[in-house]
A and B are shown apart, each in its own frame.
Chain A
Amino acid sequence: GAGVSQTPSNKVTEKGKYVELRCDPISGHTALYWYRQSLGQGPEFLIYFQGTGAADDSGLPNDRFFAVRPEGSVSTLKIQRTERGDSAVYLCASSRGLAGPADTQYFGPGTRLTVL
């Protein structure tokens, strides 16, 4: 079946602009995660949805970052007033939302964001 998809694959924007990054999870997966991967680093957690609600948004770096998942499927990560330091690959993952260690996260290919 189809995996996690993310659009766009690349986004170049100017400092101060607003961007939206989209994630389509695996069908039927109730849990959805956003991570950010800077060059030479491992992915860092941003936010986790269980269904439509944000179960944990402790990784969002500041209030310029916001994410929604209005119907419990597709999610959009929104970044306001972008800064050069926001340049990174933004990864989305989804899982079945099972309790405990049986739950495996499946990752999308990522969106590479470049802020000029």
Chain B
Amino acid sequence: GNSVTQMEGPVTLSEEAFLTINCTYTATGYPSLFWYVQYPGEGLQLLLKATKADDKGSNKGFEATYRKETTSFHLEKGSVQVSDSAVYFCALKDYGGSQGNLIFGKGTKLSVKP
């Protein structure tokens, strides 16, 4: 079946450090891949997405590249800020099967210290 595995947190970084959060997936079809972010006290927000192999999604300085050969979609940011502190979820949507639901990883909590 379809699944998403992401690195466990929490991750604690100093401001301006480089961020990588690993995400790998298993899918039977041709999934689209997503990163959602949940800031403290707020709902899930779409951060970025990629819909086919080799696509790069980017937003707010974050990037992730859809790597079919390694079934990965790692999230990166060159210089994190305190305001990036949140929980990050990797997710997939498999258009080969059900048209509806997202499948999420367990989430990675990021804390950025000044």
Contact = CB atoms under 8 A, between A and B. Distances in A.
B58 interface: no
A17 B85 CA distance: 37
A43 B106 CA distance: 8
B102 A104 contact: no
A4 B104 CA distance: 20
Interface of B: 4, 32, 36, 42-46, 49, 51-52, 89, 91, 93, 95, 98-107
27 contacts: A4-B43, A33-B101, A41-B107, A42-B91, A42-B104, A42-B106, A42-B107, A43-B89, A43-B102, A43-B104, A45-B101, A56-B98, A56-B100, A99-B99, A101-B49, A101-B51, A101-B52, A101-B93, A101-B95, A102-B51, A106-B46, A107-B43, A107-B45, A108-B43, A109-B42, A109-B43, A110-B43
